[in-house]
Amino acid sequence: MPLSPLPAFLTQRHGELHVEDLSLDSLARAHGTPLFVYSQAAMLQALGAYQRGLAGRSHLICYAMKANSSLAILQTLVRAGCGLDIVSGGELERALAAGCAPERIIFSGVGKTRAEMRRALDVGIGCFNVESRAELAVLDEVARAVGRRARVSVRVNPDVDAQTHPYISTGLKDNKFGIAHDEVLDTYRQAASCSGLEVVGIDCHIGSQITQAAPYLDALERVLDLVAAIEGLGLGLRLHHIDFGGGLGIDYRGDTPPAADALWAQLLQRLDARGFGDRQILIEPGRSIVGNAGVCLTEVLYLKPGEHKNFLIVDAAMNDLPRPAMYQAYHRIEPLRARADTAPLTWDVVGPVCESGDWLGRDRELAVQAGDRLAVLSAGAYCMSMASNYNTRGRAAEVLVDGARATVIRQRETAADQMRLETPLP
Ligand SMILES: Cc1ncc(COP(=O)(O)O)c(C=O)c1O
Ligand SMILES: N[C@@H](CCCC[NH3+])C(=O)O
């Protein structure tokens, strides 16, 4: 697949890669590597495409914070009008710390605990996206015990093939997510009979890194069929909102997902044609907001040319950026400074972690020397939020760029930080 032009926030100036108005090499020198650098303008621009697409409609864009849950990024998006989609008690606390109004928080996930439910009810979140009948019963019990009614939406599994990596497809019968199509009406009957619950919506999320409009259109038709059936049950149910989940893909390697505004123009047309244009629309985008707004900077430690393979050993690794190891994902890799004095060679870009799966890119043509720095592109989503301390490596630092201003939004983690919660034996 041919590579696309660089994302708009990355430009080549005088042979150096810049993010907005700042040289990435200068940022790497100032803050060390590995370093995540995010462009505020890029994420606001991505959000803007959804806001344009849904303008004039009652809607709530709940950024799926699992994609990147940095407090500063959450604040940026919340201040720009986002609600948040959370999947754990930890994310709930972060969402509140970032200043998100509780009623603009929705809670997804198949394994919510009673304690998480209680806390979410105490602060008054907007909606629970319930994923099983057993969860519905527990939520009812917890809500009654604390004297509240939980607003619920049932996450349906529409059995639509999102045509994405099997690990990130969620809307097929074989996936653990959502309530099977055939059980949806009974689930709404159950919900309607629970005094601790208030039915407010329906929800569906079919997967991630979806690069075509067709799966969304299929899912929409199925969900609307269900809305009609639910409201026809004679239980007096009227669904206030319809949540279409997230999942829109980004360009990693010449991928061409539809633009959010264009996709929504199509979806809204169908929604209106089916007579449901008056419902509030919720969406839960993650990757498409932050994915291409971030890069991970890394320094070349050693060149290790070999008979069969040339290895470029860099200081970022699978613990910082797990997507290649987990999904064989492709992330474009670019030198921060162009080099005229070195012939390009084909390299496997690998990290220092003791696993053969610790690679960031394979067979990459690069002209580099030890000490050079590289940018791993499309690293704004599911990189830092999936980072670990494997090999007792500290998590990377993070910088948010706004024009010519760079703000350190997370310090580099030290070994002492990692040991803070442990109790050594006497
Ligand atoms: C329930 C739910 N909502 C939203 C998202 C966000 O997806 P994406 O980052 O692909 O937009 C996910 C992740 O796939 C999810 O599981
Ligand atoms: N972690 C996945 C996306 C998971 C989406 C959450 N359901 C990725 O990096 O592509």
pLDDT at 161: 74
Residue 166 has pLDDT above 90, yes or no: no
**234 and 273 Cβ atoms separated by less than 8 Å:** no
pLDDT at 2: 56
Please indicate, yes or no, whether the overall pTM of this predicted structure exceeds 0.95.
Answer: yes
Distance of CA 5 to the CA centre of its chain: 23
What's the CA-to-centroid distance between 168 and ligand 2, angstroms? 6
**Annotated binding residue at 286?**
yes
**224 and 276 Cβ atoms separated by less than 8 Å:** yes
pLDDT digits (tens, 9 = 90+) for 171-185: 566 677 889 999 999
pLDDT at 129: 98
How large a percentage of the chain has pLDDT more than 70? 96
pLDDT digits (tens, 9 = 90+) for 61-93: 999 999 999 999 999 999 999 999 999 999 999
pLDDT digits (tens, 9 = 90+) for 15-59: 999 999 999 999 999 999 999 999 999 999 999 999 999 999 999
Average pLDDT of 93-122?
Answer: 98
Confidence of residue 164 (pLDDT cuts 50, 70, 90): low
pLDDT digits (tens, 9 = 90+) for 397-422: 999 999 999 999 999 999 999 999 99
pLDDT digits (tens, 9 = 90+) for 303-322: 999 999 999 999 999 999 99
pLDDT at 158: 85
Nearest atom (ligand 2) to Cα of 165: 10
**Annotated binding residue at 287?**
yes
Residues 6+ apart with CB under 8 A from 340: none
Confidence of residue 250 (pLDDT cuts 50, 70, 90): very high
208 lines ligand 1 (CB under 6 A): yes
Confidence of residue 295 (pLDDT cuts 50, 70, 90): very high
382, 384, 388: residue to mutate for ligand 2 pocket, most atoms within 8 A of CB:
382
126 lines ligand 1 (CB under 6 A): no
What's the CA-to-centroid distance between 208 and ligand 2, angstroms? 6
| Active site annotation includes 383 | no
The residue among 293 and 157 whose pLDDT is bigger is 293
**What domains can you pick out in the chain, each with its CATH number?**
10-39+291-419 (2.40.37.10), 108-285 (3.20.20.10)
252 lines ligand 2 (CB under 6 A): no
Residue 1 has pLDDT above 60, yes or no: no
151 lines ligand 2 (CB under 6 A): no
Residue 382: which H helix or E strand, with range?
Answer: none
Q: State the virtual CA torsion across 26, 12, 401, 251 in degrees, nearest 10.
A: -130
Distance of CA 228 to the CA centre of its chain: 31
ipTM over 0.95: yes
Q: What angle do CA 296, 302, 308 make, to 5 degrees?
A: 105
Of residues 62, 100, 296, 354, which has the active-site annotation?
A: 354
pLDDT at 176: 77
Q: Which two tokens stand for residue 44?
A: 């606001």
| 3 state SS of 169 | strand
Nearest CA to ligand 2 atom 7: 168
Residue 165 has pLDDT above 70, yes or no: no
- What is the bridge-based pairing of β-strands 397-402 and 405-410? antiparallel
Confidence of residue 13 (pLDDT cuts 50, 70, 90): very high
**Annotated binding residue at 382?**
yes
Nearest CA to ligand 2 atom 1: 382
What's the CA-to-centroid distance between 188 and ligand 1, angstroms? 23
Length of the chain: 426
108, 205, 209: residue to mutate for ligand 1 pocket, most atoms within 8 A of CB:
205
- The answer to whether the bond into 2 is cis (omega within 30° of 0) is no
Q: Which two tokens stand for residue 350?
A: 């690998």
